[in-house]
Amino acid sequence: MKKKLILAEGLTSRQKTFIEAYVRFNHDVTLACREAGYSNNASGRAVLKSGKGQDYLQELELLKAELLKKTLQYGAVESFNNLQRAQDIALKKQRMVVSKTGIYKHPDEDLTNFIKAEELKGKLAGLYKQEEEEKKPMTIMNIIRYNGKKEEVKVEKKMVKVKKKKEAE
């Protein structure tokens, strides 16, 4: 059942089209004017400044906010259930094996994605603690470059970040 917009009464169909396009195009007057068939932006701005235009615009903005609130409701439980479904799919994966005796389905579990989903579920549940980062010099690899002469040798050392776990208090 479509809700009747009370505040749209008293506006022409072109004005309604303009205001609806104005909301749909995120307050872009030029695109809304083009959609409604106005030749210049001044006509659209005049509609927005009128009392009925302002009322209709506010009503549409409220409806848009209400709709977004309903469509963007996504919580931890739904996310957890989706990750559980992803894990089930990863374990049920199969591949076809063709041999001399026929074609067989062989289990081909996707353990990488199973483990990734398990990790994400644990993070969602708050099972993992954030680690502090501490800069500490550490030699990963000595890079030796020769500049054409054996006497000249340049050694480079790289700095890396080492994560340090928080100590229990």
Residue 28 lies in a domain: yes
* Residue from 141, 126, 138 nearest 163 by CA: 138
- Would residue 67 count as lying in a domain? yes
Is 1 part of any domain? no
Q: Of all residues in the chain, what percent carry a pLDDT higher than 70?
A: 68
Q: Do 67 and 81 have their domain in common?
A: no
| pLDDT for 138 | 61
Q: Do 42 and 80 sit in the same domain of this protein? A: no
Q: In the predicted model, what is the mean pLDDT of residues 144-153?
A: 54
Question: Within this chain, do residues 117 and 137 fall inside the same structural domain, yes or no?
Answer: no
In a domain, 29, yes or no: yes
Q: Which is higher by pLDDT, 74 or 107?
A: 107
Question: What amino acid occupies position 134?
Answer: E
Q: What would the two tokens of residue 50 be?
A: 């009128």
Question: How many domains does the chain contain in total?
Answer: 3
Task: Tell me: do 155 and 117 sit in the same domain.
Answer: no
More confident residue, 126 or 15: 15
Contact assessment for residue 54 and residue 7, using Cβ atoms and an 8 Å cutoff: no
Instruction: List pLDDT tens digits, range 66-100.
Output: 877 776 666 777 888 888 888 888 888 877 888 88
Average pLDDT on 121-137 reads 69
Residue 169 falls within a domain, yes or no?
Answer: no
Per DSSP, helices labelled H in 25-160 are 29-36, 41-49, 51-71, 76-92, 111-125
* Per-residue pLDDT, 1: 41
Judge whether 86 lies within some domain. yes
**Mean pLDDT throughout 4-18?**
77
Which residue segment(s) compose the domain that 159 sits in? 132-164
pLDDT, position 169: 43
Q: Do residues 49 and 84 make contact, with C-beta atoms less than 8 angstroms apart?
A: no
| The pLDDT of residue 158 | 57
Rounded CA separation 42/48 (Å): 10
